Structure 1
Amino acid sequence: MTQLPPRPADDSERALGFARATMTRWLSPSLLFATAVRVGISAVLGSYADKREEMAALPAAPPADLSDGTEPPGYAEAPDGGELWFDYVSDLGDGFDATYAMASLLATPSLDLAGTTTPRGRMLVMGGDQCYPTPSITGYENKLIGPYRAALPRTCPDPAGAPRLFVLPGNHDWYDGLTAFMRVFCQGSSIGGWRTEQTRSYFAVQLPHRWWLLGIDIQFDSYIDDPQRRYFIEIAAQMRPGDAVILCSAKPSWLSAADGDAEAYAVLDYFERTIIRKVGAQVRVSLTGDRHHYARYSECARDSERARYTEVGGAAQKFTAGGGGAYLSATHRLPQRLVLPPAASRAPGKSDPPAHYELASSTFPDAQTSRRLAAGIVGLPAFAPGLIALLGGVHLLLALAIGGAGGTTGRGAVGRLDAIAAGLRHAGVPGLFEGLVNSVPGLALSLGVMGAGVALTKAGRTARGGVAGVAHGLTQLVLAVAVIAGAVAVASPLPGTWLLAGVLPLVVAVGGLAATEVLAAYLWLADRIAGLNTNELFAAQGIADYKNFLRLRIGPDGQLTIYPVGVRAVPKRWRFAPDAAAGAPWFTPIDRPLEAFLIESPITITRAAPDQPPDCLGPPGAREGA
């Protein structure tokens, strides 16, 4: 019999077996560089060494069977006659406070949600991005396994008695080609009190009353590899006409399609059309994360402006629920309507006519709160202090390049410094601007600043993105000249080369701080005016609050009910409890209670879709904040 580890005696890293991580600082220069390298490696691995192809050598696990509604052997609760509860959480492996808070709620035996007692799920689905910013065995241990083990310690030596865990990889899990993901989640191990069963990065679960849950790995929306396609064809062969599918993927491709990537939805459309609908089944619910908020889109009839429909027995639903622990994403830029697949898609055989979806009124956070939180970017220097040093260094190089362009070339290092000091002292503001283009270093740095401004928009190839990027780059250059001119004026009493001793530190400190605030202002204005860089605007702040997960129930009547669970504020201080019972959480909150609530009323979905989707809500933009 497996020996269970003892409860830790103290909260040191050595005793806990993991480090309590802080939130990822997404605009940290070192992190940006390291992540860029991993992204490049991942792109190569995805093209030339796709781990999904290698998985074909592993035996494919048959679909987990939870269809009879009875508890698995050794499970503590009694059979419930065809009722099944399970949970969905995504984007969870980041700072300890948010990740552990959500793990604690998922581990709690039951939650009272608006007067309804909802038991902990017999199955937990993790929807992607289990480790930020890049995956490793140590990263998974510190940011996922450790917090979940602390929230639900394993108390039963027999893993058959534990609730089941199924995990999809997101793009951050893919950054090492799924190497760490496969070792952590595909070898029958335990994550705290949950046990893994899958052998590949995708899975299938047979649920009660002819419901199915399918988790597909489509790796950056690129394609479905042939072994995975054949696996799901075999699963679909077990379905009957009229069966209903809950489809999990790691990215809301429907939003990417609305953002201008016409082919983003093509893979999901292909999967649904050629595998699910081909056997007479229907995708009734789509679940995903990647965007770290809660939002729901409901299928509706085309070109109708009648009243809102009832949620009971409604048409297909698409949920984004990426609130498991990562930084908060905005909701105020979500499109009001979706047409899937979009008319611009050139995918052969795409679904025709397309389906129309409407954004539900209850997002979390709501649009007004999302806009208010956006203004917090003013604290960017505190969120990413490394930017001050980086941008201050750019100002330093600009000062040296400008001074060198305006001074007479001297001999030796001292002579060159004398020339730079003289160039800065006598340039004047017009001369400082001339120095940006009158030397090769100045021109190269200026073009680099402009190029970085355009690249930051991630839409530089469009007119809107190009204008925004050029405007930001020019503003940074004007700021640099202003800071250099001010520093020269302050240090002008210093003689000769000593001028640099006064100018250069001021340029680095003041210029770095001012440039960081200009970047913050750009991010806010780009989102506010042009809808650009909204993700960067929120990622830079690392907001740990406004978290969410989904609790799902298939009732004895065969209806699926989804409870969207939200947490407005995450505790930031925890008390270690070494003397609590063996199965009790290791930490309890000190500064505030961990309070869960229903984001919106439970959404009930029948297995059979209605003949006609419900009516849409009216013309686009009808919802406040759209």
Structure 2
Amino acid sequence: MDQPQADYFKTIAENMPENSKIVLCSAEPGWLYVEASSESTSWEIVEYAIELAENAGRGLTVPVVLSGDTHHYNRYTGLNNQQYITSGGGGAFLHPTHQLENTISLERRGIKQSLTLARASDTEAEPAVYPDFGVSKSLVWRNLYFALTNWDFSILMGAIYFVFGIAISLRPHWDMYFAIVAIFAWSLMGYTIKQEKSKRHAVTLTSALHSLAHAALVIGAGTYYAALNASYFSFEGPYGVHLWLLALLIEMFPVGFVLGSSLFGWNMMLTCRFLQMNRNDAFSALRIGAYNNFVRMRITEENIEFFVIGLDVVPSREDWQENPKHGAHTPDEPRFIPKTPLKPHLIESFSLNKSPPKPVV
């Protein structure tokens, strides 16, 4: 938040009615990124916005902080029943929920505080998340078929393995092997650290092992096919180089397409399932456009009621049809309707009283 933005919010706060209750909407759920990323400043921005309101001298409070960005639903509770709600399931690919912590430790005004994962108000038993932990954990295993689901990426991996196969055939010595290891380490470790915005041990170790696995596969396959071609084939004549390249393409491309791409997907699958990593890439690779959700609020003089709506199955482009009831005289009718009726359901509902909360001693 820059100074003009801070001045704007400060002016708004100073001119609000006394004892107003504010629903603060933030671009990112910064409280979720405090422990996952050492480089994220999202929480600092949210905290600063809350302090601008609370320091305005008009008795303003922020009982609700609402955000999106993360493509699922969850709700945490802080001091004085302050609600931290994330509802980012509006249509993009799904994000996992099983990586959410039961308790998040953070600081406000230099004082350590904790946010607790709320319980769904309708059941008081299950965590207030959508989809639930069990569904989230089961979905990530679909990356077993990563190479097929993401065939376009697999083509890229096939091409990379083919290029490395050429390099190994031209120079099957330790310096080339070292160069291949270095290239994989630089690219894959650098990419993972950048994506995770963290250098914690799990990130560096798993990305290093991932890099070594690719290097070992490339070097093993490349040296094998180089020796095979040298022993059984004679690429001579005006088209010898072309035949040699064609042979390497037939040999190395499938290795990269199937095994290289699968290694990439399996790494994301395992680190997402067990190490709280790759939440974005592992689930974007699944291409799941389901489990959409939104929060509907009903504001009265006494309280604010929240109704969280979920939609497990979302129609694809081919599952929509023109609405015969739509026309110039029926503006309220949508132009397109799903071929199969939608089945929205209530994830949870809860309410907050507008009366001032009792301070925590």
Alignment TM-score, normalising by the size of structure 2: 0.85
Corresponding residue for 1:290? 69
Q: Is the 8 A contact 1:242 1:608 kept in 2?
A: no
Q: Residues 39-58 of structure 1: matches in 2 within 5 Å? A: none
Partner SS, residue 34 of structure 2: helix
Q: Residues 341-352 of structure 1: matches in 2 within 5 Å? A: 341=107, 351-352=109-110
Identify which of 175, 183, 186 aligns with 1:451.
186
Distance 1:316 1:475, change over 3 A: same
The question of 1:513 aligning with 2:262 is answered no
Corresponding residue for 1:335? 101
Identify which of 214, 233, 239 aligns with 1:494.
233
Which moves more between the two structures, 237-246 or 316-325?
237-246
The question of 1:400 aligning with 2:171 is answered no
**1:144-166, Cα deviation, whole Å (9 max, x unpaired):** xxxxxxxxxxxxxxxxxxxxxxx
Corresponding residue for 1:539? 284
Q: Is the 8 A contact 1:571 1:589 kept in 2?
A: yes
**1:493-524, Cα deviation, whole Å (9 max, x unpaired):** 43334454323222113322211111111111
Corresponding residue for 2:91? 325
Rounded Cα–Cα distance in structure 1 between residues aligned with 2:112 and 2:16: 24
Cα distance, 1:260 vs structure 2 = 4.2
Corresponding residue for 1:593? 341
Corresponding residue for 1:577? 323
Cα distance, 1:481 vs structure 2 = 3.0
Rounded Cα–Cα distance in structure 2 between residues aligned with 1:444 and 1:255: 38
Partner SS, residue 140 of structure 2: helix
Give the letter aligned to residue 554 of structure 1: I
Rounded Cα–Cα distance in structure 1 between residues aligned with 2:325 and 2:32: 47
Cα distance, 1:333 vs structure 2 = 0.6
Q: Is the 8 A contact 1:249 1:288 kept in 2?
A: yes
Rounded Cα–Cα distance in structure 1 between residues aligned with 2:16 and 2:131: 38
Give the letter aligned to residue 204 of structure 2: G
Identify which of 11, 18, 40 aligns with 1:234.
11
Give the letter aligned to residue 234 of structure 2: P
Distance 1:545 1:263, change over 3 A: closer
Corresponding residue for 1:271? 49
Give the letter aligned to residue 383 of structure 1: T
Give the letter aligned to residue 501 of structure 1: L
Partner SS, residue 65 of structure 2: strand
Corresponding residue for 1:563? 307
Rounded Cα–Cα distance in structure 2 between residues aligned with 1:489 and 1:366: 52
Rounded Cα–Cα distance in structure 1 between residues aligned with 2:149 and 2:191: 18
The question of 1:463 aligning with 2:201 is answered yes
Rounded Cα–Cα distance in structure 2 between residues aligned with 1:333 and 1:323: 16
Distance 1:403 1:253, change over 3 A: same
Corresponding residue for 2:128? 362
CA-atom RMSD in angstroms: 2.4
Rounded Cα–Cα distance in structure 1 between residues aligned with 2:54 and 2:251: 64
Partner SS, residue 604 of structure 1: strand
- Whichever structure has more helix as a proportion of its residues is 2
Give the letter aligned to residue 545 of structure 1: A
**1:198-218, Cα deviation, whole Å (9 max, x unpaired):** xxxxxxxxxxxxxxxxxxxxx
Rounded Cα–Cα distance in structure 2 between residues aligned with 1:287 and 1:339: 19
Partner SS, residue 258 of structure 1: coil
**1:229-252, Cα deviation, whole Å (9 max, x unpaired):** 222222212224321000001100
Q: Is the 8 A contact 2:321 2:338 kept in 1?
A: yes
Give the letter aligned to residue 9 of structure 2: F
Q: Is the 8 A contact 1:293 1:330 kept in 2?
A: yes
Rounded Cα–Cα distance in structure 2 between residues aligned with 1:260 and 1:269: 17
Identify which of 469, 475, 478 aligns with 2:213.
475
Rounded Cα–Cα distance in structure 2 between residues aligned with 1:490 and 1:362: 58
Corresponding residue for 2:294? 549
**1:270-293, Cα deviation, whole Å (9 max, x unpaired):** 221133343310001011001000
Cα distance, 1:297 vs structure 2 = 0.3
Q: Is the 8 A contact 1:488 1:499 kept in 2?
A: no
Q: Is the 8 A contact 1:330 1:534 kept in 2?
A: yes
Partner SS, residue 231 of structure 1: helix
Cα distance, 1:486 vs structure 2 = 5.7
Partner SS, residue 323 of structure 1: coil
Partner SS, residue 535 of structure 1: helix
Q: Is the 8 A contact 1:457 1:532 kept in 2?
A: no
Identify which of 172, 175, 191 aligns with 1:438.
175
Rounded Cα–Cα distance in structure 2 between residues aligned with 1:403 and 1:451: 22
Partner SS, residue 358 of structure 1: strand
Partner SS, residue 438 of structure 1: helix
Rounded Cα–Cα distance in structure 2 between residues aligned with 1:396 and 1:390: 10
Rounded Cα–Cα distance in structure 2 between residues aligned with 1:485 and 1:578: 64
Rounded Cα–Cα distance in structure 1 between residues aligned with 2:256 and 2:55: 59
Give the letter aligned to residue 587 of structure 1: F
Give the letter aligned to residue 466 of structure 1: T
Q: Is the 8 A contact 2:10 2:52 kept in 1?
A: no
Rounded Cα–Cα distance in structure 1 between residues aligned with 2:82 and 2:183: 48
Give the letter aligned to residue 140 of structure 2: A
Give the letter aligned to residue 471 of structure 1: L
Partner SS, residue 77 of structure 2: strand
Give the letter aligned to residue 117 of structure 2: L
Rounded Cα–Cα distance in structure 2 between residues aligned with 1:256 and 1:609: 29
Cα distance, 1:355 vs structure 2 = 3.8
Cα distance, 1:438 vs structure 2 = 2.7
